[in-house]
Structure 1
Amino acid sequence: MHADSARSRARLIQPANGPSLQEINGTVRTPDAHAGFWRTLAAYSGPGALVAVGYMDPGNWVTSIGGGSQFGYLLLSVILVSSLTAMLLQYMAAKLGIVTGMDLAQATRAHTGRRTGFVLWIITELAIMATDIAEVIGAAIALHLLFGMPLVVGVILTVLDVFLLLLLLHIGFRKIEAIVVTLIATIMVVFVYEVIIAQPDLPAVFQGFVPQAQILEPAQLTLALGIVGATVMPHNLYLHSAIVQSRDYAREDDAEKRRAVRFATWDSNIQLSAAFVINCLLLLLGAALFFGVDSDLGTFSSLYNALQDSSLAGAVASPVLSTLFAVALLASGQNSTITGTLTGQVVMEGFIRMRMPLWARRVITRGLAVIPVIACTLIYGGSEQALDSLLVNSQVFLCIALPVSMVPLVWFTSSKRIMGTQFANPRWVTMLGWLATAVLTVLNLKLVWETITALL
């Protein structure tokens, strides 16, 4: 009876184009059920790091540091709530992939027609392009700050990361995960050092994690909505549901799937906690050094210069701080080389059931992302302000794509028909999922409206 039920669920949604990310599906070995907790966790750790990259990309940096410089430690509670929401949604994405054997794109396509699948693919591709634009801008500005490289040259050089990706794919997925973890650790070490030097007000820090009514005031609320609305990246939900299947757990054994879900959740929450810490460090840096200072810190260059300006950063200002900031920015930008390409493959194969070589996929995606950045750079004479404006406007596509990914995710993982009774979300998880979907969708629609009215 139990086996028949499992087979019945499996027939509900079947991938027509084979397993998700077939090249890496089931390639990472995991220990048997008798292995210890830490050994098993080590085997399942990795996918969470690739997902966490999206929660600390260059697009969030100016917002977090700006929030600290404008309002001190007030918005730490917003980062906390946003991170908890992200953990909930990524847990659902991982569970969907492990239990059904399908990523979110495949599952969505299985419940829609061909035309609808094509439209959803276009929307999601635009979101991936928007994310890639942010990473291109971050990496180009980092190269400019570190080596004095013209922005146009830096943008063009980001196309060369295609060769880096091809090299990484040849050394194995496990090593790719290790490289991403190393880059994340680099970013964290840099900002831990800078925050220690900045000496934040610890009592005020702890108070900042408690939501306060002051957040609802217009100026604070606008920035708070920006932090929340930009936290959950839709492409991460597709990516996570695919890469958790890189582990070789027994696909037909419910006990094995429960074990895989458990450790995938541990991995995700640990890595997202690291992203939470980094985002908090960014805000702490802005609050400790620049709160109350009358200065425009709206661009990466202004932040870089402020960190070595004693009139702004005080006695701790030094070229070392600014250089480390640029190094961390470059590391953040390079992480997208891996995650953006893998996500693009997932949505293309899932929504329109089309396959192409990864090098071609990467050239097309990065090429399309580079074109508007180069055009903007040339038209505005290499102005970083113009690039930052492009970065902000590119986030509109992320807003549009968000409900396209979140609504089916919550629906699928809450369905006993699809997930089975033991894997479907409990009622309280379902309620939190729909609440998060509604709130984030409203916030992102508000951001879209504000962007449109600002352009008119």
Structure 2
Amino acid sequence: MALSFSDQSSLPEGGASLEEVHETVETSEKKGFWRKLMAFVGPAYLVSVGYMDPGNWATDLAGGSQFGYKLIWVLLMSNLIALLLQSLSARLGIVRRRDLAQASRESYPKLINYFLYFLAEVAIAATDLAEVVGMAIGLQLLFDLPLLIGVSITVLDTFLFLFLQRLGIRKMEAFILALIGVIGLSFLIEVVLARPEPAEVAKGFIPSLPNEQALYIAIGIIGATVMPHNLYLHSALVQTRKIRRTPRKMREALRFNVIDSLVALNLAFLVNAAILVLAAATFFQSGMFHVAEIQDAHQLLERFLGTQWAPILFAVALIAAGQSSTITGTLAGQIVMEGYLNLRLQPWLRRLITRLIAIVPAFLVIWLMGEEETGPLLVLSQVVLSLQLGFAIIPLIHFVSDPITMGTMVINRGVKILAWVSALIIVVLNAKLTYEEISAWMVAAGDQAIWLWLTVVPLAVFAGGVLLYITFQPLFQPQRKPYSHMPHGGDRPLVHLPELHYRRIAIALDFSSVDPYVLQHALSQGEPHTEYLLIHVVETVGALVMGRTIRDLETATDRQYLEAYAEQLKEKGYKVHFKLGYGSPKTAIADLAQEWAADLLVMGGHGHRLFKDILFGTTIEDVRHRVTMPVLVVREP
């Protein structure tokens, strides 16, 4: 019987999105509605933190203080659009087993993919910029640290991300959920203390844009709510759940993910609405129409709400928002880099690069222009995010509307219309803002406007051309041949695989409990004629300085142990040699194995993790990159 969905639901050739956690959460064995729902709950909460990061705070505070409750409808519209688009993103990941970057790579030419990748990285950098500034402000508010020091400290959260990643996706989700709880509880208390007028709040749901500045803030709110990197992130996170590839199970997975998104994103909406309502009920009602700075809001809350706990709760929630968002931003960066470029970096390196890209502009703005410019910088970062949205939304709609790749899971006409209307609203608002901003720059530049015509205008025209291309390309071009997602290519025909015969096997020993297992595996790889070289490295300071001329007690003892191993093996009929190395095992083991022209190197692995790797180093990784022969790593059972 033919499958009712596309055979492209199989894994991408050679690699899965977020491969280290791909399908690590079992769902098919859960019985009962609530147990099944809890198995699927999680991805949307990781996504939702991007909807309540410090960038949202800046736009919500600016909107509430300048226009009272009049922009609440923008928050609601943004949230409804976000619900729709995030559900489409989850559908893409569940049905096609592709994240948005992988699907784009399969569908567009290289030039278009490079440009889309560049925009995705800009969006992630803008997101991280908001998180860096928000975290620094939170640290300043709680501990009175200068912003420049706070910005520098945010580099250290790289280690927190590494720690959480090693614990697994479920524990990372639990950590994020705890931070969301801190944010939600803090603002629930703040709103209760502010006592807003319900009738005025209700009027805020009637659409209106009082002036051009309201449009700028509204677009910032949209960019802060419907974030491009979240579309990439959600399409990958849903693939951490292992589901059976049957139509019934896939529909069940789609249903539970919609519930997950509905609850998580509505919580994010309530947090954003609480910030805007708080600003409207305190600052706007008091005639303070320009409180866009988070620091100003923090200082004024105690005066308006009459309790010292108000600013403390505000700062704690700000740090929780920044810390949770930075984790999901790192995951999104990994997804777009692997999906578009087939390039994988170590998580700590990827995190450090992303964080430095965000820190440099934040550091320069604070240093050159002063701490008072952080508010406009946060709002600008969210407007930049909004400008990227069309380049992520339009491909997503095309992918989930394609009956060839989605089969019976393709979205229906009603959902498609709503999706395109959402995309049209966002693109038109952004086009209007872009035109007005460039026109204002032209007027301000005067005689120097020629430089804008030579730089900014061509870039805007090229971006517009790319947007038109990805919008209409599926109508005129047949489906492209899928790319391999494997960084080093796809599979190869296995025509002739000759047997391997190892004639010279080097064995690295460290006189620990793993040695017998290392010897056992090494001997099992050999044949009667195979020769073996036992290697041990003396790591004392004296050995590092004096090398082979060292004559201390440890060197003599190590030589005796190595000779004892060699004699035992010779008695069993094996051809065995032994050599001592001196100094760093990373170089000595590799050098001795290479000099002896070994066909295979066998080493013991002790399973060091994170901090032990930092303290003791990763010998196996360094040796593996220094030698030309295969390396077999043996762990103690």
Q: Give TM-score scaled by structure 1 length.
A: 0.92
State whether structure 2 residue 229 is matched by structure 1 residue 232: no
Question: Using a 3 Å threshold, how does the CA distance of structure 1 residues 390 and 198 change in structure 2: closer, same or farther?
Answer: closer
Is residue 88 from structure 1 mapped to residue 78 from structure 2 by the alignment?
A: no
Note closer, same or farther for the CA distance 1:395–1:330 as it changes in structure 2 (3 Å cut). Answer: same
2:124 touches 2:333 (CA, 8 Å); kept in 1? yes
Q: Against the structure 1 CA distance between its residues 221 and 112, is the aligned structure 2 distance closer, same or farther, given a 3 Å change threshold? A: closer
- Aligned 8 A contact 1:69 1:293 in 2: no
Distance 1:375 1:224 in 2: 27
The answer to which of 92-101 and 143-152 deviates more is 143-152
Aligned counterparts, 1:155-304, within 5 A:
155-209=151-205, 211-212=206-207, 214-215=208-209, 218=212, 220-250=214-244, 252-295=245-288, 296-304=290-298
Map of 1:305 onto structure 2: 299
* 1:317-363 superposed Cα distances (whole Å, 9 cap, x missing partner): 33210111111111110012210110011001100111111011001
Question: Which residue of the partner structure matches residue 320 of structure 1?
Answer: 309
Match of 2:357 in 1: 368
Q: 2:318 aligns with which of 322, 329, 345?
A: 329
1:399 alignment partner AA: S
Alignment correspondent of 1:423: 409
Q: Is the 8 A contact 1:57 1:333 kept in 2?
A: yes
CA pair 327-290 structure 1, distance change in 2 beyond 3 A = same
- Going from structure 1 to structure 2, the CA distance change for 1:140 and 1:451 (only over 3 Å counts) comes to farther
Query: How many angstroms does 1:119 deviate by?
Result: 2.1
More off after superposition, 260-269 vs 89-98: 260-269
Task: Compare the two structures and name the one with the higher helix fraction.
Answer: 1
Task: Give the gaps of 5 or more residues in structure 2.
Answer: 445-637
Matched residue, 1:443: 429
Aligned 8 A contact 2:63 2:276 in 1: yes
Partners of 1:222 and 1:234 in 2: CA distance:
18
Amino acid across the alignment from 2:267:
A
Contact kept? 1:50, 1:339, Cα under 8 Å: yes
CA distance in 2 between partners of 1:50 and 1:185 (Å): 13
Match of 2:22? Answer: 25
Letter in 2 for 1:411: H
CA apart distance, 1:142: 0.8
Larger Cα-atom Rg: 2
Instruction: Decide which of 377, 397, 402 is 1:390's aligned counterpart.
Output: 377
1:450 Cα shift? 4.4
Task: Pick one of 307, 329, 341 that aligns with 1:340.
Answer: 329
Q: 1:70 to 1:390 in 2, by over 3 A?
A: closer
Residues 70 and 292, structure 1, Cα contact 8 Å, conserved in 2: no
Q: Which amino acid aligns with 2:110?
A: R
> Which amino acid in 2 is paired with 1:26?
E
How far apart, CA to CA, are the structure 2 residues paired with 1:188 and 1:169?
Answer: 24
Indicate the larger mover: 439-448 or 155-164: 439-448
Question: Following the alignment from structure 1 to structure 2, what is the Cα–Cα distance between the partners of residues 119 and 79?
Answer: 30
Alignment of 1:54-65 (within 5 A): 54-65=50-61
- Give 1:7 shift: 5.2
Give the direction of change, closer, same or farther, for the CA distance of 1:218–1:395 in structure 2 (3 Å limit): closer
Percent of matched pairs sharing the same residue: 45
| Aligned residues of 1:17 and 1:349 also touching (Cα < 8 A) | no
Partner of residue 103, structure 1: 99
Residues of 1 paired with 2:203 and 2:381: CA distance? Answer: 34
Deviations 1:60-84 (A, max 9, x none): 1122233223333222222111111
Amino acid at match of 1:117: N
In 2, distance between residues paired with 1:334 and 1:355? 24
- SS in structure 2 of the partner of residue 205 of structure 1: helix
When the two chains are superposed, the root-mean-square deviation of aligned CA atoms in Å is 1.9
Residue 400 and residue 239 in structure 1: after superposition, are their counterparts in 2 closer, same or farther (change >3 A)? Answer: same
Which residue number corresponds to residue 398 of structure 2?
411
Assess if the C-alpha contact under 8 Å between 2:292 and 2:376 holds in 1: no
1:396, distance to aligned residue in structure 2 (A): 4.7
Q: Tell me how far 1:386 sits from its aligned partner.
A: 2.0
Give the direction of change, closer, same or farther, for the CA distance of 1:159–1:203 in structure 2 (3 Å limit).
Answer: same
Cα displacement (A) at 1:232: 0.9
Sort the Cα spacing of 1:186 and 1:265 in 2 relative to 1 into closer, same or farther, 3 A.
Answer: same
Aligned to 2:2: 2
Checking the alignment, whether the CA contact within 8 Å between 1:234 and 1:405 is kept in structure 2 is yes
Partner of 1:354, secondary structure, is coil
Q: TM-score, normalised by structure 2?
A: 0.66
- Give the whole-Å Cα distance in 1 for the aligned partners of 2:262 and 2:126: 26
CA distance in structure 2 between the partners assigned to 1:292 and 1:199 by the alignment? 12
2:49 corresponds to 1:53: yes
Q: Which has the higher strand share?
A: 2
Distance in structure 2 (CA, Å) of the matches to 1:445 and 1:387: 26
In structure 2, distance between residues paired with 1:168 and 1:286: 34
The alpha-carbon deviation at position 236 of structure 1 amounts to 0.4
